Structure 1
């Protein structure tokens, strides 16, 4: 509370007094709630969120005076990700004698010790809280609305505790299983929001440059936030990457190719591809960089269907974003979420649609796409990031395509979870391979495409 300066002009003193009285009134309301309902003790101990933070969530709704009458949180059924624990949260509010309920989504720090350690090292909660508390407000400050209806509203964010967002599930949104085949309609809907997300940073940089007449790039203000999460030389991150390399070794042992190429050569090339991910993840010196999601698989976007048609798509989980060319995000999304058969049929249409949405959103702010990313350069960059995208899909699939009945007990066992995240996935791949058709097919397709890509690259060199 700011003190009153008795030497100020009376009109300023009176204004400060009114502000202080309002703040005191709010504090008294809070005390009244605590005394009458005893929520701070009786409910918070059974909840994933404290009473004080729940009260702040309500204040951030900007609904004027209210009484917080009750709140509760419940863990969501099933696993929707690895870098957080997910809860549904319900708050009951009394305002002007009327009761109402509001539903939210709460993400907490992961319970699994291995993933807790990984999340802390990569700064995943820091990244996400800064995305909502710094990046989104900066877009709004410069009148950039491209991410409206692309990302959920955030009502509370603390990197040491949890993040509270709109509960998209309560509005009819759902995530998809990575084991199911997505239709072309769904893919185009997701590509549209990905293009809007990627272009938001370009628009921001261009508008700031236009206003200040000085060159501006996002790392100028977001250096720590854009620190690489998945691909760095930090020991724990390197161990995580090496665990995927172990899984790659299992796959090159299991899958036989009859194309006349020495299998031992491919094994070496595949291991090198895993190590080259560090190079691919860095900002480009050739093409324009932008904010990239970095982990855009099925559990990181939500879809609302109406009469079995896609009505809306929202992007979630901003824990691993980086600064890189937009093609990196696009190609990673395509190889993580689509089948080989559909890629062969629709790839050119997907790239064209992404570029169209990207261009149209630049045009709204009078920015010429040809000065940012000419189409020939965009297509060239997509080809360049193909190896990165295929390799990432293989290391991701080793875990995300494991049937829940197999992976869930493993993640509940701290020693086994640590092995697959920071040891080697060689034994995991060998175990799951004969047990599941989806696992075998998707990984075989991705390894086949990586083989084609790497052999063509080695022949060019």
Structure 2
């Protein structure tokens, strides 16, 4: 997808106007000297709550790219906007870039931290946001142009990937802990950031709640094909309850405080871009802060580890992953001027693992059908949303096949990973 010099291929005039204003204020020459090339910034299945565009700015005379940008826009389809609560999601991410992230940066600098060198700097630069419904949008630096790459979600991450994520989440969580300790009023508004799915599931005839149940049934169908043992019987017993109820227990603020933090909430491979040196990840950027939640830090860890790593990797390094997270958290809390033994004692961390470790099972049940699906088999999200809205409005029984993404060619991958999560949850004593 490309276009002429000044016309915009973005879906709304406001988006194009905003882009042109930014370029006019930041390019060395008048706009007539540049050609803009528009393309999609992600593949099908890479992003569920937004539409991603990449804009390449080419100097016509010199015939070279001078800059490129990423623009994240809200979907236009009304059913999709309704099902995903698009406006709330975009406002949450806009709030992160306009308020929360600057607070984090300033706090670190005030403590003498060189943020870019060894602080929490792991989010892309966002230089413009649009919050007006239904034309929400965020304008970012193009991380790919700076050498960052998205990891193939169908491949296995390495130990180095996981350790880097643990260290990054630790720093992000540590900052929240320390601000809450030293200047609590500054982050008070963000201590009531509720889970995105809870709000949706509490709605009457909630299609999201029905989707949760269809994911649970898919897991149970897989379990029923396995040889009966202690693990399968335990999963069957647990899943007599509604998945939403089980999920909600793990993100209950009352059970997490006073040790809850503002979590990323959606930390998986497609929301991370890595910078590699000689094939080894050395830096990363976290993407997509649309479903942040105030909850136990453990929920971020369980989400990433159990939905993104193989059992073989966990068998070798699971404890090292946890130890790396906690040691990174503790050391950064100390550098920021607080006491980790007060803010998040190791025994409380272990207690949270026992209490909330099962979140790894529940979130894997929900996301692994998506994560293990080939990009070519991903459904059209507009069509899926319209079917879900129809089931809600007519009161018709929810059809599980609408959100069952797993195809015959990827079922074995789903089945293996889902069963591995069940086994690990049982062996670790989380269930």
Same fold by TM-score greater than 0.5: yes
Equivalent pair of 2:222/2:415 in contact (CA under 8 Å): no
- C-alpha change, 1:343 and 1:329, in structure 2 (3 Å) is same
For 2:108 and 2:234, how far apart are their aligned partners in 1?
A: 53
For 2:371 and 2:389, how far apart are their aligned partners in 1?
A: 16
**Aligned residue in 2 for 1:151:** 123
- C-alpha change, 1:119 and 1:140, in structure 2 (3 Å) is same
**Aligned residue in 2 for 1:35:** none
For 2:411 and 2:228, how far apart are their aligned partners in 1?
A: 26
- C-alpha change, 1:57 and 1:279, in structure 2 (3 Å) is farther
- C-alpha change, 1:243 and 1:299, in structure 2 (3 Å) is same
Counterpart check, 1:197 vs 2:163: no
Report the Cα offset of residue 358 of structure 1. Answer: 0.9
**Aligned residue in 2 for 1:184:** 159
Equivalent pair of 2:303/2:360 in contact (CA under 8 Å): yes
Give the one of 195, 199, 214 matched to 1:228.
Answer: 195
For 1:286 and 1:200, how far apart are their aligned partners in 2?
A: 16
- C-alpha change, 1:127 and 1:415, in structure 2 (3 Å) is closer
**Aligned residue in 1 for 2:7:** 43
For 1:120 and 1:413, how far apart are their aligned partners in 2?
A: 16
Report the Cα offset of residue 173 of structure 1. Answer: 1.2
Deviations for 1:389-417, whole angstroms, at most 9, x for unmatched residues?
21101111122211222224x54634686
The unaligned stretches of length 5 or more in structure 1 are 1-37, 209-214
> Cα RMSD (Å) of the superposition?
3.5
**Aligned residue in 1 for 2:279:** 308
**Aligned residue in 2 for 1:26:** none
- C-alpha change, 1:340 and 1:254, in structure 2 (3 Å) is same
Name which of structure 1's ranges 343-352 and 380-389 shifts more when overlaid on structure 2.
380-389
Equivalent pair of 1:332/1:388 in contact (CA under 8 Å): yes
TM-score (norm 2): 0.81
Report the Cα offset of residue 222 of structure 1. Answer: 3.2
**Aligned residue in 1 for 2:262:** 291
* SS of residue paired to 2:70: strand
**Aligned residue in 2 for 1:90:** 56
For 2:404 and 2:40, how far apart are their aligned partners in 1?
A: 29
Counterpart check, 1:407 vs 2:370: no
**Aligned residue in 2 for 1:372:** 343
Structure 1 or 2, whichever has the larger Rg, is 1
Report the Cα offset of residue 238 of structure 1. Answer: 4.2
Report the Cα offset of residue 134 of structure 1. Answer: 1.0
**Aligned residue in 2 for 1:67:** 30
Equivalent pair of 1:231/1:281 in contact (CA under 8 Å): no
**Aligned residue in 1 for 2:362:** 391
Counterpart check, 1:103 vs 2:68: yes
Counterpart check, 1:138 vs 2:109: no
- C-alpha change, 1:400 and 1:320, in structure 2 (3 Å) is same
For 1:281 and 1:321, how far apart are their aligned partners in 2?
A: 12
Give the one of 376, 401, 419 matched to 1:444.
Answer: 419
For 1:68 and 1:203, how far apart are their aligned partners in 2?
A: 45
Within a 5 Å distance, the mapping from 1:142-291 to structure 2 comes to 142-144=107-109, 145=115, 148-159=120-131, 160-208=135-183, 215-216=184-185, 218=187, 220-222=188-190, 226-232=193-199, 233-235=201-203, 238-256=206-224, 257-259=226-228, 266-272=235-241, 274=243, 275-283=245-253, 284-291=255-262
- C-alpha change, 1:141 and 1:418, in structure 2 (3 Å) is same
* SS of residue paired to 1:142: helix
Equivalent pair of 2:196/2:291 in contact (CA under 8 Å): yes
**Aligned residue in 2 for 1:4:** none
Give the one of 279, 294, 304 matched to 1:333.
Answer: 304
Equivalent pair of 1:82/1:110 in contact (CA under 8 Å): no
Aligned residues: 404
Equivalent pair of 1:387/1:453 in contact (CA under 8 Å): no
- C-alpha change, 1:428 and 1:354, in structure 2 (3 Å) is same
Deviations for 1:280-316, whole angstroms, at most 9, x for unmatched residues?
1132444411110111111111111121111211111
- C-alpha change, 1:287 and 1:328, in structure 2 (3 Å) is farther
